Structure 1
């Protein structure tokens, strides 16, 4: 059972209350301090998600794109597991229950859950379009490939809109002045959790779009080469140019397959994140709603 704790939550860069003006025993029943396992664990997961590279580049030898995106989903999931543990603490729940600002948290969780739900739909559509594009490339069917690529680009634009929406969630407004110290402390850490989730979500959505776009570009290049060279190139298979065209088609097929496998590999992680977001929003709603 949770009992009284001393101290306060303070994130890096946030101002600390003056020790000289407040007695140490003044908040003996306040929110658990950073030394409490649930609070320190959540703080650690926020920091870990922030340190996850948002844009991998060659200078740091980034992991394969699929692994990088999975790591992002894993980080978001761990953060929300830690948040769930914090929301179970009676003292944390007591601080949330009378807080009018908590309605904005509920709205943020709803928007994040909507974004991740829409991401799953967009990812499923991308996977189907990639499969269709690969089949059309393999069968040298320009018309079918063009149709698949047009549908693919529409799904990519949907992902770009989701990434933009997630970035907007991260731009939370400042707290109203005059909040009690303990209430401001829990508000800060919860808002930081939302901001870290939104920023990482935007990066994940954009990362999936980038992987898919690279495959689309390769397929479009193969289509252009096929339509330009036509039958003459197929008859001149002994020439270096014909061999190069064959290699380009093979590379396009490989990219399309890897992109499809990458998206398939994200299903478990994206489902876990969506479920965690919905569960934590329900927990917040139960805290804020009076029991009947």
Structure 2
């Protein structure tokens, strides 16, 4: 009985030496330190990007409308707001601070978007002023003032085409930057906490956000440009226009359907000879056009603010990295 009792004394010695406690805690800490892969915001923004991709697919086979382009802009605004939340994650901040050149390239892309939407807001304000003057001219049956309105519309269309070019010209540079960004190796002790897969996933999300921003922006600017462009194209000009797009989707080669249906240029001819009922009809179509333009201005301004906020967060990240 004494021998059995002595063997029982050795049992606590096994419990005093447990090597499994610290590794379990260490593994738990590492799972927290991983950046974006398991974070719900990544899943959310991927769903939003998929929504924009579905919107793009629908736009390929259907005429672009005011309702459709407004929906695309709203989806883009929501995506950038989620993007901002991802930027504010400590894991994302740490990852971006380890790649300052990456952040600088993103800043260049964001500046291009902000400048384009800022210019668009200015152009829309000018168009609204010209449009209000045109309505006064219709009431007074002043055809000379309407001629000035037609010239302003043509100028507005050309300025919108410049915005399309400014967005498209940076696309190849952006893609080259992102290709290099994925090849940047880990160079700091802090980055050792971040897995290559997680950093690549973050880069993939950023790349997708930039891509859909380009697409929706081109759809908006080109749709507006085509809507206000002169309608009298020769057959040669139409063929050249279709070939220059290199099989671009319909959303990029057609104007907004509502703006086309509200076209009133032909109604301006011989305005003094028109009856009161005809003039009232023209004014109604002009008010409908103004309402459509104001709606686009409102939703695009929200995208503009979201782009500015994203850029501010990127600037803060770059400042902290220096």
Q: TM-score, normalised by structure 1?
A: 0.74
**Structure holding more helix per residue:** 2
Aligned-residue RMSD, C-alpha: 3.1
- Map 1:139-154; keep pairs closer than 5 Å: 139-154=140-155
Shift in Å, 1:68: 2.1
- Greater CA deviation, 209-218 or 253-262? 209-218
Q: Which residue of 2 aligns with 1:284?
A: 314
Whether contact under 8 Å (1:49, 1:72) holds in the other structure is: yes
Shift in Å, 1:212: 4.5
CA distance in 1, matches of 2:262, 2:300: 25
CA distance in 1, matches of 2:29, 2:56: 38
Work out which of the residue numbers 37, 41, 44 in structure 2 matches 1:38: 41
**Deviation sequence 1:192-223 (CA, Å, 0-9, x none):** 10121121012112233344454698332122
Whether contact under 8 Å (2:262, 2:285) holds in the other structure is: no
Whether contact under 8 Å (1:76, 1:197) holds in the other structure is: yes
Which structure has the larger Rg over C-alpha atoms? 2
Shift in Å, 1:251: 5.1
3-state secondary structure, aligned to 1:197: helix
Q: Which residue of 2 aligns with 1:195?
A: 211
3-state secondary structure, aligned to 1:289: helix
CA distance in 1, matches of 2:264, 2:139: 10
Q: Which runs of 5+ in 1 are unaligned?
A: 6-27, 238-242
Q: Which runs of 5+ in 2 are unaligned?
A: 1-27, 186-195, 230-258
- Greater CA deviation, 68-77 or 192-201? 68-77
- Map 1:1-292; keep pairs closer than 5 Å: 4-5=30-31, 29-33=33-37, 35-53=38-56, 56=59, 65-99=65-99, 100-171=101-172, 172-174=174-176, 175-176=179-180, 178-180=183-185, 181=196, 182-212=198-228, 214=259, 218-224=263-269, 226=270, 247=278, 252-290=282-320
CA distance in 2, matches of 1:250, 1:101: 57
- Greater CA deviation, 143-152 or 128-137? 128-137
CA distance in 2, matches of 1:190, 1:3: 26
**Higher RCO, 1 vs 2 (CA within 8 Å, ≥6 residues apart):** 2
- Greater CA deviation, 162-171 or 97-106? 162-171
**Deviation sequence 1:250-292 (CA, Å, 0-9, x none):** 5543332222111212333222211211111111111122378
CA distance in 1, matches of 2:110, 2:184: 22
Shift in Å, 1:95: 0.9
Q: TM-score, normalised by structure 2?
A: 0.68
CA distance in 2, matches of 1:49, 1:219: 33
Q: Which residue of 1 aligns with 2:3?
A: none
